Amino acid sequence: MAQIDARLREDVHLLGELLGETIGAQRGEGFVDKIERIRKGAKAARQGSAKGAAQLTSTLDSLKEDELLPVARAFNQFLNLANIAEQYHQVRRLGPEEPPRFETEVLPQLLERLKNEGHTAEVLARHLSRLEIELVLTAHPTEVSRRTLIQKYDAIAAQLAAQDHSDLSPAERSQVKQRLHRLIAEAWHTEEIRRTRPTPVDEAKWGFAVIEHSLWKAVPKYLRGADDALYAATGLRLPLTAAPIRFASWMGGDRDGNPNVTAPVTREVLLLARWMAADLYLRDVDNLAGELSMQQANAAVREVVGDSPEPYRALLKQLRERLKATRAWAEAALHGDLQPSAGVLHSNTELLEPLERCYHSLHECGMGVIANGPLLDCLRNAATFGLFLVRLDVRQDSTRHASAMSEITDFLGLGKYQDWDEETRVAFLLRELNNRRPLLPAHYQASADTAEVLATCKVVAQAPQASLGSYVISMAGAPSDVLAVQLLLKEAGLQRPIRVVPLFETLADLEGAGAAIDRLLGLPGYRSRLHGPQEVMIGYSDSAKDAGTTAAAWAQYRAQEALVNVCREHQVELLLFHGRGGTVGRGGGPAHAAILSQPPGSVAGRFRTTEQGEMIRFKFGLPDIAEQNLNLYLAAVLEATVQPPPVPEPAWRELMGKLAEDGVAGYRAVVREHPQFVEYFRQATPEQELGRLPLGSRPAKRREGGVESLRAIPWIFAWTQTRLMLPAWLGWEKALGNALERGDGELLAQMREHWPFFRTRIDMLEMVLAKADAAIAGLYDERLVSDELRPLGAHLRDLLSQAGTSVLALTGQSQLLAHSPQTLSAFTVRNTYLDPLHLLQAELLARSRHSERQADSPLEQALLVSVAGIAAGLRNTG
C-alpha cells in the first residue's frame, strides 16, 4: 500500500499534536492518554488484533457520562483537521522537480490536443468564449460545520500555507506554530453544533460568504489561466467580458417542501445579494482608485471626466458614488418598499462601461501592464457576478401550482382544475395565456397556501430580470405543469420572459420526459413565449431513491437522449440542468468524469448543475481549490462540446437495459417490498435522530410516512453514518451478478473500456463500496436492532459483499481501489479515528433511545457531535 505523502503526514501529525496539547490544557494529560488508548486500539483492531479490539471496546465502555462529549469532540476535531491538511495538500507549493497538477494542465493539454486533431484556432476560441456553464449553489444544507468554525478552519489552512517555505527562520516557524495552536484552541473551545436551525436567509448569507472569501479571488485567476492557455494554443485571447462560468443559487428561492421560504424571504435574499455585490465592487473600486493615479488618458475617458489631472480616479470616483448609492438603497429597501434613486445602478452595462473605458485607455496609452492587473480582475468579476452576485432560482412543487389553480377555477365557477384531465387543463391554460384580461378580480381573497404561491409570482414579476435564474417545477410530469406557472406569473404582472423549467425526478417521469417536452413544444403559442433555450432539469436524488442508482442512471441517460432528439426535431436549443448531489446515491462524483460521460449532444456549449451542501465548501471554500474545480468544469464542458463521447453500441444499450431492469427489481425488493425494511432502517440507523440535528431550514420529511416520505438527503445521510451506504449500491449486486452469470463479462469489460457513461458509473460504485464497511454496519445492528430484524441486516451485508465481488470480477482487481493506493491509504488513516466514533455513536444511540431525551444533555450533544464527526471523516452527508 502506498504511503501518504510525507508533507501531508507531517501536517496531520502537527495539527493532531497541537489538538492534543489543547485538550490536555483543559482536561489533563490523563484524558489525553485515554484518547490515545482509544486511537491505538482502533488502529490495532483494524489490523486484525483481537487484543486491540478488546482494548478499544473496554476503554469506550469505561467512559464516564461527562467524558462522552469530550471524546466525541476530540475525534470529530481531528477528522476536521485532517480534512484541512488534505485540502491544503491539494494546492500546496510544488517543488521544481514535481510535475504540474492535472487540474492546472487539463485545459492547456485539451486545447493542444484539439488543435492537433484539426480544430482551427478560431473555432476553439469561439467555443471557449461562448461556453455557458452555471453552477447553482443550493439550499440543501448538508453542511454540518458551523460557519464560525469554517472560518477558523480556513485560517488554519492559511497558516499551513505560511509554513510551507523552506527558507523560514526558526522564529518565523515558531510564530506560525503559535498561530496554529491558537486557532486550534479557538476551534476546540467553540461548539460544533448549532443550537438553532439556520433560516433560509442564514443559508443565503453562507452562500454569499463562499463568494466573498473564495470565488471572488478564484474567478479572475481561473480566467487568467484560461486566457493564457488559449493564447498559447491559438494566439487568440478571450473577450474582455467573457464569463464561461457563472453562478446561481437556490438559497432563499427553493420553497419545495420548505414552509420557511416565503415571498418576503425571497425578496430579502435578492436585496442582500445586491447589497453584497455593491459592497464587493466598492472595495475593489476603492483599491483601483488608489492605484490608477496616471495622468495620460484617451479621448473616451476625457469625454467623461474632462481635463482632470487624474482622469482614472475621476472616472472611478463617479462609479464609486453610484455603488455607494446602490448599497445604501439595497440596505434601506430591506426594511420597506423604497424606490431606487437616480444614482442606483440598474444594469450590468452601467457597471462595466467605466471599467472598460479605463482598461482600453490604459492599453492605448502604452500602460497595458497596468490595465492587465487588478483592473482586469475587477472587470472579469463584474462580467461573471454582475450587479446581483448570483441569479436566484425559484423552485416549487407542481402540486402547489395545481392546488392554486384548482382554488382559482373553483372560485370562477369552472370546476376544480385538479379533477380535469391533461387535455382539458392544457386547453384552459392556453386560452387564458392568450387572453389579455386578468384571470382574477381585484377582490379575490386566496387561501394562505394559494396567496403564498401568488405572492412568490409577484416577487418574480417585480425583480430585475438579471437577478433571477429559472423557475423550477419539481415533480413535473406534463405540459400543464409548465403552462400553469406561466399563467400564474402572467397574472402576477410578469411581462418579460423567464425560463420555466420542468424537473423530471421519478423513474416514470424520466421515462416520459421526452414525450412531455415534445407535446409542450408542439403547443400553439408556446414557442413565442420561449426566449432562448428550452431548459429541462434532470433529478438525480429522487430518481435514485425511487429506483436505485442502476436504473436511475440509465433512465437519466435515456431521458437526456430523448430530450436532445426532441429539441433537435423542433429546432429549439436545449439546456439540461443536472440536479446532482454530493454523494453517489444522489448523482454525485467527480464532475470532470461525470460531464464527459453525458450522452453525445447533451452538452452543447451549455451546462447547468447544482452544487450542494458540504461539497460547496470542499470544492469552492478555498480560492486555490475553487480555481482547480473551475478549471475542471471549463475543460470538461469544452471537451464534451467539441468532442462528444461516442454513441453507445446497440449491444451495450441492450445489456444496460437488462442491468437497469435487474437493478430496480433488486432495489425495490428490499426497499419497497420487504415487510421489515422500514422498521429495520429506523432501528439500525440514526434516521430519527438526524431530524434533531439543526442542519438547515428545511424539514427532513415532505410529509408523514415511510421511506417514500423522506427527502433524499436524510435517506442517504442515515446510511452513510452506519457505513452500509445502501442507497448508492443496492441493485447493482443483482444487476452485475446476473450479467456475469449469463456470461456477459466480456461485454461488460468492453463497455467499461469504451463507454464513458458506464465506466464512470462503475468507478463511482467502486469508490462507494470502498467506503462501505460491513463490520461497522454489523456493530450498529448488534447494539440497536431487535433480534427479529437482525437477519435482514445480515442479508443486506451479504448483498454488499456480492456487489464488491461483482465489481472486482469486472475490474480484474484483487482489492477495491487497488489502482488508487493513495486513496486507500487515506481511508486507512481516517478509519483509525472513525471507528471509535462509530462505536461511540452506536452506544449513544442505544442510551438515547432508552432514556428520556433532553436536548442539551451531554449525551444528546455527544450524539450530534458523533454525527458531525463521521460526516467530516467520510466527507459525505447527503
For residue 58, which of 616, 696, 592, 836 has the smallest C-alpha distance?
836
Same-domain pairing of 742 and 830: no
Amino acid at position 261, single letter: V
Q: Which stretch of DSSP H or E encloses residue 133?
A: strand 132-137
CA angle 533, 539, 540 (to 5 degrees): 135
Instruction: Please tell me whether residues 684 and 786 are part of one structural domain.
Output: yes
Identify the weakest region by mean pLDDT among 3-7, 525-529, 853-857.
853-857
Which pLDDT tens digit goes with each residue over 751-798?
Answer: 999 999 999 999 999 999 999 999 999 999 999 999 999 999 999 999
Q: Is 715 within the bounds of a domain?
A: yes
Please name every residue paired with 604 in a beta bridge, in sequence order, or none if there are none: none
Q: What are phi and psi of 540, to 5 degrees?
A: -95, -40
Please compute the mean of the pLDDT values over residues 587-601 and round it to a whole number.
79
Residue 678 lies in a domain: yes
Q: Are residues 794 and 854 in the same domain?
A: no
End-to-end CA distance of the chain: 30
Dist CA 623 CA 621 (whole Å): 7
Res 589 pLDDT > 80: no
DSSP for 331-365, written as a single string: HHHTTS-----TTS--SHHHHHHHHHHHHHHHHHT
- pLDDT of res. 710: 57
Q: Give CA–CA dist 145/164, Å, rounded.
A: 26
Q: Can you give the pLDDT at residue 142?
A: 41
Query: Is 372 among the domain residues?
Result: yes
In this prediction the pTM is 0.92
Is residue 822 within 8 A of residue 4, CB to CB? The reply is yes
The DSSP element (H or E) to which 283 belongs, if any, is: helix 263-291
One-letter identity of residue 528: S
Q: Which residue has the higher pLDDT, 577 or 698?
A: 577
∠105-109-112 over CA atoms, to 5°?
A: 150
Task: Report whether pLDDT(499) > 80.
Answer: yes
**How remote is the C-alpha of 416 from its chain's centroid?**
39
Instruction: Burial-class residue 516 by CB neighbours within 10 Å (0-12, 13-18, 19+).
Output: buried
Task: Among 342, 367, 388, identify where a domain stops.
Answer: 388
Per the CB < 8 A criterion, the answer to whether 222 and 630 are in contact is: yes
Q: Residue 806: its pLDDT value, please?
A: 96
681, pLDDT greater than 80:
yes
Is 176 contained in some domain? yes
Q: Name the packing angle between helices 549-569 and 756-771 (round to 10°).
A: 150
CA distance linking residue 392 with residue 864, whole number of Å: 32
Q: Does any domain span residue 636?
A: no
Question: Is a pLDDT exceeding 80 seen at residue 712?
Answer: no
* Residue 749: per-residue pLDDT: 96
| CA torsion through residues 474, 475, 477, 480, sign | negative
Is 383 in the same domain as 400? no
* CATH number of the domain where residue 408 is located: 3.20.20
Please determine, for residue 400, whether its predicted confidence score (pLDDT) is greater than 70. Answer: yes
Say whether both 409 and 482 belong to one domain: yes
Nearest-angstrom CA–CA distance, 249 and 79: 29
Query: Residue 843 has what pLDDT?
Result: 87
Helix (H, G, I), strand (E, B) or coil at 460: helix
Query: What confidence tier does 586 reach under pLDDT thresholds 50, 70, 90?
Result: very low
Q: How confident is the model at residue 877 (pLDDT cuts 50, 70, 90)?
A: very low
The cell for 613 is: 451542501
pLDDT at 588: 41
Structural domain of 771:
653-819
For residue 695, which of 211, 196, 93, 342 has the smallest C-alpha distance? Answer: 196
Whether 4 and 22 share a structural domain:
yes
The whole-number pLDDT of residue 678 equals 93
Q: What are phi and psi of 503, to 5 degrees?
A: -110, 115
**DSSP class per residue in 229-281:** HHHHHHS----TT--SEEEEE-TTTB-TT-TT--HHHHHHHHHHHHHHHHHHH
pLDDT digits (tens, 9 = 90+) for 115-154: 999 999 999 999 999 999 999 998 654 444 567 787 888 8
Are the beta carbons of 312 and 294 closer than 8 angstroms?
yes
Domain annotation covers residue 205: no
Residue 584: pLDDT band (50, 70, 90) is very low
Share above pLDDT 90 across residues of the chain, in percent, rounded to a whole number: 69
405 and 334 belong to one structural domain:
no
The pLDDT value given to residue 63: 85
Domains of the chain: total: 4
The most confident of the ranges 77-91, 310-324, 712-726 is 310-324
For residues 596 and 640, the answer to whether their CB atoms sit within 8 Å is: yes
SS (H, E, C) 95-120: CCCCCCCHHHHHHHHHHHHHHHCCCC
| Dist CA 718 CA 631 (whole Å) | 33
| Burial degree of 45 (CB within 10 A; 0-12, 13-18, 19+) | buried
Is 557 found in the same domain as 476? yes
CA distance 573 to 606: 10
Evaluate whether 830 touches 43 at the Cβ level (below 8 Å).
Answer: no
Q: Residue 290 maps to which CATH number?
A: 1.20.1440.90
827 falls within a domain: yes
| pLDDT the model gives residue 587 | 41
- Domain assignment present for 178: yes
Q: Within this chain, do residues 462 and 346 fall inside the same structural domain, yes or no?
A: no
554 and 694 part of one domain = no
Indicate whether 5 pLDDT > 50. Answer: yes
pLDDT at residue 646 is higher than 80: yes
Domain boundary residue among 796, 819, 842? Answer: 819
713 and 736 both lie in a single domain: yes
pLDDT recorded at residue 706: 54
CA dist., res. 636 & res. 595, Å (int): 6
Q: Among 172-186, 637-651, 713-727, where is mean pLDDT lowest?
A: 713-727
**Lowest-pLDDT range, 46-55, 269-278, 395-404?**
46-55
Gap between the Cα atoms of 364 and 600, Å rounded: 44
Contacts of 583 (CB under 8 A, 6+ apart): 716, 720, 728, 768, 876, 877, 878
Whether 433 and 354 share a structural domain: no
Q: Which of 538, 571, 604 is the last residue of a domain?
A: 571
Q: What is the mean pLDDT of the chain?
A: 90
Which residues are registered as beta bridge partners of 135? 247, 609
Active-site positions read 140, 545
pLDDT (tens digit, 9 = 90+) per residue, 766-779? 999 999 999 999 99
Per-residue pLDDT of 539-550, as tens digits, reads: 887 788 889 999
Write down the pLDDT at residue 146.
66
Beta-bridged to residue 536, according to DSSP, are 576
Residue 581: pLDDT over 60? no
